[in-house]
Chain A
Amino acid sequence: MFVASTSVSGISVMVVAVFVACVVEMVEALTIVVAVGHTSGWRPAIRGVAAALGALGLLVAGFGPALVQIPINTLRLIVGGVLLIFGLQWLRKAVLRSTGLKAKHDEDLIFAETVQEIESVTDLAQRERVAFMMAFKGVFLEGLEVVITVLTLGTSARHLSLAVLTALVAAVLVAVVGAIVARQLSSVPENAMKMTVGVMLVSYGTFWSGEGLGVKWPGNDLMLLGLVGVFAVATWITIAAVKATNVKERA
């Protein structure tokens, strides 16, 4: 009973982290795809998306089974270290954006820049190639972070299929919402979502790197929820402290 409930807490954190990470990255990719579709027609946009999803699928299919073969403690140590760095980078960026020290991701600006870049190409055949490449690059580069999240969280939790399924559901959800509203999703609270993912990645990174090094966490997987709480509070305090120094600086 205890084992079942602790596993559920660990899996829940993984599912939420993969889902939110995928939504955030796919919203960013959707902006570029919608801009390409509106400017050059939907054929090169859809072809670019399909090619990028195929390439990302190949990466998961290639690396996923290979990673599962690594002994669990070694895998968790390596993955924990990577997640710690990756999560801290996301958190740092989210803190700086929350405190106004870094510009927030502007979907409207990205949309306008993409449209302008495609419209600057006058030759129709060349324009279609540029449109395809922009849709491909937009989805592939944003999707690469999702692939890394899916591979690291999925293989270490020994639930790669669930992680892949969660990412697919998130990607389909964003695509459907994007198709319904037929525009970029600029009102999505991206920074808050990135902060949530950052907290979860850092929590998983701390937990697994510790386990890989032989640390016995009190409460086993339940400790993950405790770490999520600790890092969420620490992030909130850091933001408040930087905002306070911003006020002092202006005074």
Chain B
Amino acid sequence: MKVEGSYTFAAPRERIWALLNDPDVLARVTPGVKTLTPQGADAYKAKIELAVGPVKGAYDGTVRITDKTPPERMTLRVEGGGKPGTIRATGELRLEEQDGRTVVNYTGDAQITGLIAGIGHRLIGGVAKQMAGEFFKAVEKELRPR
């Protein structure tokens, strides 16, 4: 299943790159993340609780950041599983600076198995886009002073 889109931030590219590579920020902005524990460089163990309305699931997973070319591109590799199913996803983020703003283009590919894949197949595309939107809106919030 493929997801793609883009999001524009009113901030320079270095700032957005720094946010996306900060584990504390990632733990705050990634939907459903309960804990994000570093496991060496650019690798994390994650506990995620995702709720889509009444459908709630807990997942254990790993997140790795690879193919980094600061501040232009990076690839996120996520693997996780829980009772509702398993997911293996790869997302490529490309950051482009335009007049002091940063355009993040993302393309992702996910393989999902288990109950959510069988029963929820028709909803996965929409939910993935929704979560990508939540992720980027939360990153945007990080830009504002506390």
**Mutual binders A and B:** no
Residues of B near any A CB (own CB < 8 A): none
